[in-house]
């Protein structure tokens, strides 16, 4: 069964450092998303991406964040200067379509646990 | 006002019990509805989509009441492996929204032998 893959599974970084989280969405999917989940809290939307550009972003997704699809398979989330409060689980998701029932289901990767020290 | 609200639980039930989870959502323009399950420190995994007519998948039944903005999930004959957090999820998918998912905080279920 196709799946979304994310690397690394755990990233430890010092405050102020840049990190890049990587995702390989399901191959025939066109819509890509990043979510985050702070420990003990709910999953929160960060950004959606379609046709090589950001479709929508939340207020969490400030200037420190950026996304990119550098090639035909990878989808990355970059945090330029990490803060302690960026420590969370970051999930990548993808879907085949946006509105069509059954094709709009978002499938999640196993996540990257980011620890900012 | 919270967008998606769920009873946080925990629900502690014996094996074989029937358990029901409820969820309300605030935005009447919401288009798509889902139940995901999340095991501890794992990713959300789709359990089932929720359709207007209600739908069933084995031991799981989901219902949607658009007038009351209410979604439910019923689990019959619960198994130990059903122990997880159940996430009520709404997809806005209208106007300027590009389909981002809005999650509830989840309801924790613990099934005991």
- Residues from chain B contacting residue A108 (CB–CB below 8 Å): 43-45
How many Å lie between the alpha carbon of B113 and the closest alpha carbon of chain A? 26
Cβ of A111 and B43 within 8 Å?
Answer: yes
Q: Is the pLDDT of residue B28 over 60?
A: yes
Nearest one of B76, B82, B100, B102 to B38, comparing CA atoms: B82
Tokens of A9: 């599974």
> Average of pLDDT values for B88-105?
80
- pLDDT bin (cut points 50, 70, 90) of residue B52 is confident
> Average of pLDDT values for B25-54?
90
Three-state DSSP state, B30: coil
- pLDDT bin (cut points 50, 70, 90) of residue B64 is very high
Mind listing the pLDDT tens digit for each residue in A27-48?
999 999 999 999 999 999 999 9
What local confidence, expressed as pLDDT, does residue B2 receive? Answer: 64
Nearest-Cα residue of chain A relative to residue B48: A105
What local confidence, expressed as pLDDT, does residue A72 receive? Answer: 78
Q: Is the pLDDT of residue B22 over 80?
A: yes
- pLDDT bin (cut points 50, 70, 90) of residue B96 is low
Nearest-Cα residue of chain B relative to residue A10: B41
**Interface with A, mutate which of B52, B99, B104, B107 (most A CBs under 10 A):** B99
Which residues, numbered 74 to 103 in chain B, qualify as contacts with chain A under a Cβ-Cβ cut-off of 8 Å? Answer: 87, 91, 93, 96-103
Mean model confidence pLDDT for chain B:
91
> Average of pLDDT values for A82-92?
97
How many Å lie between the alpha carbon of A6 and the closest alpha carbon of chain B? 11
What local confidence, expressed as pLDDT, does residue A97 receive? Answer: 82
Cβ of A43 and B44 within 8 Å?
Answer: yes
Do residues A36 and A23 lie in contact, with contact meaning Cβ atoms separated by under 8 Å?
no
Q: Is the pLDDT of residue B97 over 70?
A: no
- Residues from chain A contacting residue B42 (CB–CB below 8 Å): 110-111
Mind listing the pLDDT tens digit for each residue in A55-72?
999 999 999 999 999 887
- Residues from chain B contacting residue A48 (CB–CB below 8 Å): 98-100
- pLDDT bin (cut points 50, 70, 90) of residue B47 is very high
Least confident of A21-35, A101-115, B81-95: B81-95
**Interface with B, mutate which of A3, A5, A42 (most B CBs under 10 A):** A42
Strands B11-14 and B107-112: parallel
Tokens of B55: 């739908």
For chain A, percent of residues with pLDDT exceeding 90 = 85
Which residues, numbered 40 to 69 in chain B, qualify as contacts with chain A under a Cβ-Cβ cut-off of 8 Å? Answer: 41-46, 49, 51
Q: Residue-wise over B10-49: b if at least 16 C-beta within 10 A, else e?
A: ebebeeeeebebebbbeeeebebbbbbbbeeeebbeebbb
> B28 versus B111: which is more confidently predicted?
B111
- pLDDT bin (cut points 50, 70, 90) of residue A106 is very high
């Amino acid at each position: 069964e196709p799946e979304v893959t994310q690397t690394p599974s755990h990233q430890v970084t010092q405050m102020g450092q840049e990190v890049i989280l990587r995702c390989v969405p399901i191959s025939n999917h066109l819509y890509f998303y990043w979510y985050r989940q702070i420990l003990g809290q709910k999953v929160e939307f960060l950004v959606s991406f379609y046709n090589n550009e950001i479709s929508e972003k939340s207020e969490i997704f400030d200037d420190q964040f950026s996304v990119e699809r550098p090639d035909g398979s990878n989808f990355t989330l970059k945090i330029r200067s990490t803060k302690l409060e960026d420590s969370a689980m970051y999930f990548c998701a993808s879907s085949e379509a946006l509105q069509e029932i059954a094709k709009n289901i978002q499938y999640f990767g196993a996540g990257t646990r980011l620890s900012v020290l | 006002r919270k967008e998606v609200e769920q009873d946080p639980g925990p629900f502690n039930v014996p094996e074989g019990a029937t358990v029901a989870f409820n969820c309300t959502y605030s935005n009447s323009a919401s288009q798509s509805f889902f139940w995901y399950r999340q095991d501890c420190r794992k990713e959300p995994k789709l359990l089932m989509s929720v359709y207007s007519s209600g739908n069933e998948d084995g031991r799981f039944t989901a219902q949607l009441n658009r007038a009351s903005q209410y979604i439910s999930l019923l689990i019959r004959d619960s198994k130990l492996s059903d122990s997880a957090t159940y996430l009520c999820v709404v997809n806005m998918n209208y106007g300027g929204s590009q389909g981002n998912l809005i999650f509830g905080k989840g309801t924790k279920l613990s099934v005991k032998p």
